[in-house]
Amino acid sequence: MFGFFGQENHPFGSKIDKGTARDNTTNIAKCQDFSCARLVYNLNMSKQDTKTKEKWSLKEKFPAGFLSDSDFSDLEKQLLFTRGIQNVGEAEDFLNPKYEDLHDPLQMKGTPEAVQRIKKAVDSKEKVLVYGDYDVDGITATAILYSVLTDLGLEAEYYIPKRDTEGYGVNTDALGEIAKAGAKLVITVDCGVTAVQEVEYAKKLGLDTIITDHHAIHTEKDKEVLPDCVVVNPKQKTCKYPYKELSGSGIAFKLAQALYKEFPDKLVNGQEKWLLDLAALGTICDVVPLTGENRVIAHFGIKVIQKTKRAGLKMLTEVSRSAPKDIDSYKIGFQLGPRLNAAGRLETAEKSIQLLLTDDENEARMLSLELNKLNMERQELTQRILSEAIAEVEKKSKKAKLYLLKGKNWPSGVVGIVASKISEKYLKPVIVCEDKGDECQGSARSPKCFNIIEALEKSSEYLVRYGGHARAAGITVKKEHFVLLENKLLELSDDGIKEEDLISEYKIDSETSLSDISAETFKFLKKMEPFGMGNPMPTLVAHGIHVETFKKVGKSFEHLKLVFADGRAKTNGIYFSFTGDGMDFAKNVDIIYQISENEWGGRKSYEAKCIAIRESK
Ligand SMILES: [Mn+2]
């Protein structure tokens, strides 16, 4: 079906020819050598974190007979098994995603009605506005829908609220402005599913609304509470759409797909694939599971980015010291994502959207450099607030299973990042708020063991606004209700979180000795990409290994380079940010590791990236 378009117009025609090396910060030129391993490791830096307990646990082993009618090796079988694959057919689908695997967009509840309403807008030349959000998912969703509406010949505009003054979601002041500017139809992306009153208000202004969103739907006595308009959100109970985990940009892409079907005279069927780069950015940065349809979107979206035609994405990869052809899910999540998010965190998301939409190379270069600068400012700000917030945590009771924190001059743009870092450190749900005087506005992050959106729903009497998912949410709370909210949440977390949930656990896919890793293994790992939530990079364990040499590397010698020997072969290893003071490398060790590719002087090799190390028993 791709034959119609020349290679030039073909978003994922050719195979990726090159493996992508992971970005790391090791500064090889600067290193202290310890060629003798008979030394007790000692670093003149911070002591090991307070996180003392940790558990190494192997995931369940695949059962006898699993994928027996296949050529997969035992390690491959195990990796497929731990990703929920049940038979050879599913394994093939997983390893070879096909564009045709995407579901029919019209199956999604509300989509046929949304398409008809947009058709009416085209026929009567109405002005249409896309109402989005300031994070990567929100801006990519906005850019997707805005592009399609413009290509349909509509007079389209977009609106992104400002994080600090307006906050997340649809607000009535904005709707007033939008109506005044002459729009007749508002289509939300990545927000709006809780905007019941706002949609009523829009009606009074003569605005029609279509909601497209992927966030949790509020319920009252088990009944869904939805705005009274067309709602496209597969999480609706009565939605028969087979996949529920799409991101906001994923849903915007599905609506685009439907519009391509509906308007074959205006939109060239097949060309919607070029929008997958945006959908993949949103999908990966919103950390939805990379399973099912999300995996297909991410897989092909990365290919589109690798041959991107967007001046902005080209420049953004360049300022991230990378190249489009080397983009993978890791680089999207850790290099492109933070830069695209930076604008919305510190000022408005406008620059990021412009960057995604511009054809002009000079504009793209200028915007990329600005986003890069904003991202550095964001990093400094995060560091400052993180240390202030940790100081607050240390004042709280050690028994608390949840932290609700607030601070003045904690900009709402970075409280989410701070919350997630603290939550990772203490393995507890954390809400970090900016104290804005009468109100506090914050972001919540929660480990798997606790459903934060359910807890907020149970505490809604103390909240002005809230919304989100099981593991991430946003809240607004009146200052006089802050302590009441804290008490309620502490009570809920006390009941909901068990002591064993507070132990950090390494979940290991397989016990595999270093000498069993081959080029074949690496090839298979490549086929398992893109990695992320729901499909983590395989984590392996090896026991009783001899450390032959090690040396400190990196700007402040914070990393460790090692050579392991397991009796059959020698393997290079790297341990980033090693903090294991007192480790005796004269004794044999066990390691938890991932396999990464290393390119040095044009030669490719594999190395073990250590996640954890301990003396063998
Ligand atoms: Mn989202």
> Which pLDDT value is given to residue 206?
97
Segment 180-198, tens digit of pLDDT: 999 999 999 999 999 999 9
Q: Using H for helix, E for strand and C for coil, what is the string for 300-335?
A: HHHHHHHCCCCHHHHHHHHHCCCCHHHCCHHHHHHH
Interior angle at CA 326, CA 288 and CA 291, nearest 5: 20
The CATH number of the domain holding residue 461 is: 3.10.310.30
Residues 106 and 32 in one domain: no
Note whether residue 302 is domain-resident.
no
Note whether residue 313 is domain-resident.
no
Ligand 1 centroid–CA 182 distance in Å is: 28
Where do we find the tokens 């929660």? 446
Task: Say whether pLDDT at 12 is over 70.
Answer: no
* DSSP tag of 126: -
Residues 199 and 250 in one domain: yes
Note whether residue 176 is domain-resident.
yes
Mean pLDDT computed over 568-575:
93
> Which pLDDT value is given to residue 20?
31
Task: Say whether pLDDT at 600 is over 80.
Answer: no
Residues 207 and 262 in one domain: yes
Segment 64-83, tens digit of pLDDT: 999 999 999 999 999 999 99
Under 8 Å between Cβ of 531 and 596: no
Ligand 1 centroid–CA 296 distance in Å is: 18
Identify which has the larger pLDDT, 121 or 413. Answer: 121
Ligand 1 centroid–CA 236 distance in Å is: 16
Exposure b/e, 547-579, CB count within 10 A at least 16 = b: bebbebbbeebbbbbbbbebeeeebbbbbeebe
Residues in the chain: 617
Domain count for the chain: 3
What CA–CA distance (Å, rounded) separates 130 from 140? 12
Task: Say whether pLDDT at 30 is over 60.
Answer: no
Q: For residue 143, what are its two tokens?
A: 């850019």
What CA–CA distance (Å, rounded) separates 247 from 234? 10
What CA–CA distance (Å, rounded) separates 179 from 131? 13
End position of a domain, from candidates 270, 292, 307: 270
Residues 484 and 518 in one domain: no
Residues 542 and 476 in one domain: no
Ligand 1 centroid–CA 282 distance in Å is: 7
Segment 41-56, tens digit of pLDDT: 333 333 334 444 689 9
Residues 142 and 253 in one domain: yes
For residue 65, the tally of other CB atoms under 10 A from its CB is: 7
Residues 427 and 520 in one domain: no
> Which pLDDT value is given to residue 29?
31
The CATH number of the domain holding residue 591 is: 2.40.50.140
Ligand 1 centroid–CA 239 distance in Å is: 19
Ligand 1 centroid–CA 389 distance in Å is: 26
What CA–CA distance (Å, rounded) separates 35 from 563? 10
Domain that holds residue 572: 13-59+509-615
Under the banding of pLDDT at 50, 70 and 90, the label for residue 530 is very high
Residues 471 and 604 in one domain: no
CA distances from 355 to 251, 319, 336, 543 (A): 21, 13, 12, 49
Note whether residue 589 is domain-resident.
yes
Note whether residue 327 is domain-resident.
no
End position of a domain, from candidates 270, 288, 312: 270
Ligand 1 centroid–CA 468 distance in Å is: 9
> Which pLDDT value is given to residue 597?
81
Farthest-apart Cα atoms in the chain, separation: 80
User: Would the pTM count as exceeding 0.85?
Assistant: yes
What CA–CA distance (Å, rounded) separates 417 from 445? 9
CA distances from 214 to 148, 194, 233 (A): 20, 11, 5
Note whether residue 345 is domain-resident.
no
Task: Say whether pLDDT at 602 is over 90.
Answer: no
Note whether residue 135 is domain-resident.
yes
Note whether residue 248 is domain-resident.
yes
Exposure b/e, 492-520, CB count within 10 A at least 16 = b: bbeebbeeeeeebeeebbbebbbbbbeee
Ligand 1 centroid–CA 166 distance in Å is: 17
Segment 75-105, tens digit of pLDDT: 999 999 999 999 999 999 999 999 999 999 9
Residues 535 and 406 in one domain: no
End position of a domain, from candidates 244, 270, 296: 270
Ligand 1 centroid–CA 489 distance in Å is: 24
The separation between the first and the last C-alpha atoms of the chain, rounded to the nearest angstrom, is: 58
Residues 453 and 588 in one domain: no
Ligand 1 centroid–CA 102 distance in Å is: 20
Mean pLDDT, rounded, of the chain: 90
Say if residue 400 is exposed, middle or buried (CB neighbours under 10 Å; 0-12, 13-18, 19+).
Answer: middle
Residues 163 and 232 in one domain: yes
Residues 523 and 495 in one domain: no
The CATH number of the domain holding residue 230 is: 3.90.1640.30
